[in-house]
Amino acid sequence: MRDKLYVDEFYGVTVIAFYGWWARVADWLDRRVWGGVVAGVAWSFGLSAQLNRFLDTNVVDGGFDKGCDELAVGGGLLARVQTGRVQTYLRILALAVVVLAAILFWSSRA
Amino acid sequence: MSGIHLLTLLTMLPLVGAAIALWSGKHARAVALITTLISLALALVVWTQLPANGGYGLVEQHVWAPSLGINYYLGVDGLGALMLLLSAIVTLMSVDAANRVHHQPGLYFALVLTLEAGLFGSFTALNFFHWFLFWELCLIPAFFLIKLWGGARRGPAATQFFVYTMAGSMALLVAFLAVFLSTGSMDFPHLTLLASTGELEQMVTEHLGPVMLWLAIGVLAGFAVKVPMIPFHTWLPAAYAEAPSPVTMLLTGAMSKMGVYGLLRIALPLFGAQIAQIRTPLLVLAVATVVMGAFAAAAQKDLKRIFAYMSVNHLGYCLLGIFALAVPAAGAAAQTSQAMALNGVILQMFNHGLTAAALFWFVAMMQQRTGGHRGIDQFGGLGKPAPALFGLMCIALFSSLGLPGLNGFVGEFLIFRGAFPLAWVAATVSILGLLVTAAVILTVIQKVFTGPVPEHCAGFPDLHHSERMALIPVIGLMILLGLLPQLIVESVNPTVVNLLAHWRF
């Protein structure tokens, strides 16, 4: 039987070649396609986390911090009124009475 | 021993063992060995107390939070009891294999025992909430075991494993909340009864509209991740390769069975009709899991990744059997095929668990002897210096190949015998998986055990006496179940008949 009728060679270029090629395809699908989808999902989660951090730091925190600053300034101004001197409080009270009287006067005319 | 408390005792014992192991330092492994041995004895007692009619035995039921449908509800049939036995055996093997844990052994063995408790709880729970607690409990110790004791890339592997499984769990939880809102019950036997008469679908449709198919898909997604089914499997090779080998034994031997168990305990009983509706695409995915798992194994050079992909392939046979039988059976012949396929699936769960865990055990021994080598091209000619390792590992490899006379054959044969009349195209294409697995296993044997011995394997020691003594019962069980599969089938078959009688496709 010359060269065993090339059975081994035929087997090599058909069955063995298919086995090796398909094994590489299965491995590639696993690493690139299915693994790629998972990596893509992980990447999108990472991206949304970064976006969230940006919004948190620059928008939410920014707005909140600004509000806090304004409150602190307003509080500081109000604190100046709190002197502990009875004369000052009476002056403010008298001023308030004058303002209220003026409002009542103008509203009764209308 | 009172049957009333046996399942609770079985579940609590590893938790007690874990608490003791945590404070036992270097004696933690001994504590874990004693605990797992007692657990195995208790699991055997459970196995002997199964009711003859295939229904649930050793039932324990207590009200927990009735307004939420939550009950402390335990019970086992042939399926649950076999999984208890498998979990007990695999955990014992894993503890025995972990003889070189030097970094925080107390914590390591406490986590292993907690994982065992999670497995026992999930295989005995008959209420969704109760079951879900233990299902999630398994995830936490598994995550830390990979993260703290794993290989170089353990961080990403552990995170991927955790996130993947959690995503699946969320899909399951949402689907089950919808079922609870519609029925007011979370008890599996009650819901199975409702599903078998078609009432479950009616109630869900009345409350939520035509969403039953989507709920089925949610439940299937949860279990597809755990089994795993292609394309939800990408966490597995990384987790199996990076986990320490004794932990991989637990992941493949016991935890992967939780997914198949869930399909049999929850998905098919409650959503049988919906699974039958989408049976064809599910069969395509099952065949892809069988065939692509086998081919992907052929492309690997790392022994752990080879066995990881072979696990995907072997669990694909379970999926093939499950989806093939999800069809309205017309006539006695079709019913017989369904029963054969289901018997095959349950046997395959047990046999794969035993064999795959043993294979990873062998890898652990080879790594210990060569300073961590596990590439198939790094070994060669080990049959000469280590004939006992060669002989015993070859039996495990041939069992994985499905050689007649060994346990691996019986389950696969029954699955194919049952699936062929029900889904002949899927069964025929899946045979390709058998052929490729055989080629992969023979390549492993050839590269690892024949040819010249490389320099770094020159002084490769054979199995020690204690290692042989530990392995012989496992290998003996493979031979015993290959020759006398009726030891399991006789106890499982009544459950199979009982399950099929209540499933509606």
Query: Out of B231, B299, B436, whose CB is closest to A27?
Result: B299
* CA nearest to B232 within chain A: A34
Find the helix packing angle between B303-324 and B424-449, rounded to 10°: 160
**What six digits make up the tokens of B327?**
């069809």
Q: How far apart are CA B476 and CA B277, in angstroms?
A: 43
Q: How far apart are CA A51 and CA A47, in angstroms?
A: 6
Q: How far apart are CA B226 and CA B257, in angstroms?
A: 8
Q: Looking at the domain assignment, is residue B69 inside a domain?
A: no
* CA nearest to A26 within chain B: B296
Q: How far apart are CA A32 and CA B234, in angstroms?
A: 11
Collect all residues with Cβ–Cβ distance below 8 Å to B255 and sequence separation of at least 6: B115, B119, B138, B142, B226
A30/B298 touch (CB, cutoff 8 Å), yes or no: no
Global ipTM: 0.82
> Which chain B residues are Cβ-neighbours of A26 within 8 angstroms?
292, 295-296, 298-299
Per-residue pLDDT of chain B (505 residues; tens, 9 = 90+): 444 689 999 999 999 999 999 999 889 999 999 999 999 999 999 999 999 999 999 999 999 988 888 999 999 999 999 999 999 999 999 999 998 888 899 999 999 999 999 999 999 999 999 999 999 999 999 999 999 999 888 988 898 888 888 888 999 999 999 999 999 999 999 999 999 999 999 999 999 999 999 999 999 999 999 999 999 999 999 999 999 999 999 999 999 999 999 999 999 999 999 999 999 999 999 999 999 999 999 999 999 999 999 999 999 999 999 999 999 877 889 999 999 999 999 999 999 999 999 999 999 999 999 888 899 999 999 999 999 999 999 999 999 999 999 999 999 999 999 999 999 999 999 999 999 999 999 999 999 999 999 888 888 999 999 999 999 999 999 999 999 999 999 999 999 999 999 999 9
> Which chain A residues are Cβ-neighbours of B300 within 8 angstroms?
27
* Short-list B242, B236, B249, CA closest to B165: B236
Question: Which residue of B232, B234, B287 to mutate against A (max A Cβ within 10 Å)?
Answer: B234
- What does B382-434 look like in DSSP terms, one character per residue? TTTT-HHHHHHHHHHHHHHHT-TTSHHHHHHHHHHHHHHHH-HHHHHHHHHHH
* Minimum distance, in Å, between the CA of residue B469 and any CA atom of chain A: 38
Query: Out of A23, A29, A37, whose CB is closest to B298?
Result: A23
**What six digits make up the tokens of B237?**
């090779």
Q: B46, B84 in Cβ contact below 8 A?
A: yes
pLDDT attached to residue B484: 96
Scan for tokens 């699946």, then name that residue: B168
A22/B295 touch (CB, cutoff 8 Å), yes or no: yes
Q: What is the pLDDT of residues B210-251, one digit of tens each?
A: 999 999 999 999 999 999 999 999 999 999 999 999 999 999
Give the burial class of B490: count Cβ atoms within 10 A of its Cβ; 0-12 exposed, 13-18 middle, 19 or more buried.
Answer: exposed
Average model confidence (pLDDT) across chain A: 86
**Distance of CA B166 to CAs B225, B255, B430, Å?**
9, 14, 30
Q: How far apart are CA A35 and CA A38, in angstroms?
A: 5
**Structural domain count, chain B:** 1
Window 45-104 of A, Cβ < 8 Å to B: none
Q: How far apart are CA B124 and CA B135, in angstroms?
A: 11
* Minimum distance, in Å, between the CA of residue A27 and any CA atom of chain B: 5
Scan for tokens 């496992």, then name that residue: B474
> Which chain B residues are Cβ-neighbours of A19 within 8 angstroms?
295, 298, 436, 439
Question: Which residue of B230, B287, B295 to mutate against A (max A Cβ within 10 Å)?
Answer: B295
B231/A24 touch (CB, cutoff 8 Å), yes or no: no
Q: What is the pLDDT of residues B281-299, one digit of tens each?
A: 999 999 999 999 999 999 9
Q: Looking at the domain assignment, is residue B459 inside a domain?
A: yes
Query: Out of A26, A35, A37, whose CB is closest to B299?
Result: A26
* Short-list B305, B468, B458, B466, CA closest to B390: B468
Scan for tokens 């790392």, then name that residue: B302
A29/B292 touch (CB, cutoff 8 Å), yes or no: yes
> Which chain A residues are Cβ-neighbours of B230 within 8 angstroms?
34
Beta carbons within 10 angstroms of residue A16's beta carbon:
12
- What does B239-269 look like in DSSP terms, one character per residue? HHHHS-HHHHHHIIIIIHHHHHHHIIIIIHH
**What six digits make up the tokens of B218?**
């949610």
Range of the domain at B306: 278-505
Q: How far apart are CA B367 and CA B360, in angstroms?
A: 10
Q: How far apart are CA B242 and CA B236, in angstroms?
A: 10
Collect all residues with Cβ–Cβ distance below 8 Å to A71 and sequence separation of at least 6: none
Beta carbons within 10 angstroms of residue A14's beta carbon:
10
**What six digits make up the tokens of B16?**
């007690």
pLDDT attached to residue A66: 81
Q: B456, B366 in Cβ contact below 8 A?
A: no
* Minimum distance, in Å, between the CA of residue B164 and any CA atom of chain A: 9
B233/A37 touch (CB, cutoff 8 Å), yes or no: no
B295/A38 touch (CB, cutoff 8 Å), yes or no: no
B299/A24 touch (CB, cutoff 8 Å), yes or no: yes
Q: Looking at the domain assignment, is residue B355 inside a domain?
A: yes
Tell me the one-letter amino acid at B321: G
| Chain B touched by A37 (CB under 8 Å) | yes
Q: Any alpha helices (H) in B243-371, and if so which ranges?
A: 245-250, 256-262, 268-277, 279-298, 303-324, 332-370
Q: Looking at the domain assignment, is residue B59 inside a domain?
A: no
* CA nearest to A32 within chain B: B234
Q: Which residues pair with B258 in a beta bridge?
A: none
Q: What is the pLDDT of residues A16-61, one digit of tens each?
A: 999 999 999 999 998 888 888 888 888 888 888 899 888 888 888 8
Interface of B with A (CB under 8 A): 160, 164, 230-231, 233-235, 237, 292, 295-296, 298-300, 436, 439
Phi, psi of B463 (to 5 degrees): -60, 140
Query: Out of A20, A24, A30, whose CB is closest to B234?
Result: A30
* Minimum distance, in Å, between the CA of residue B159 and any CA atom of chain A: 11
Beta carbons within 10 angstroms of residue B447's beta carbon:
19
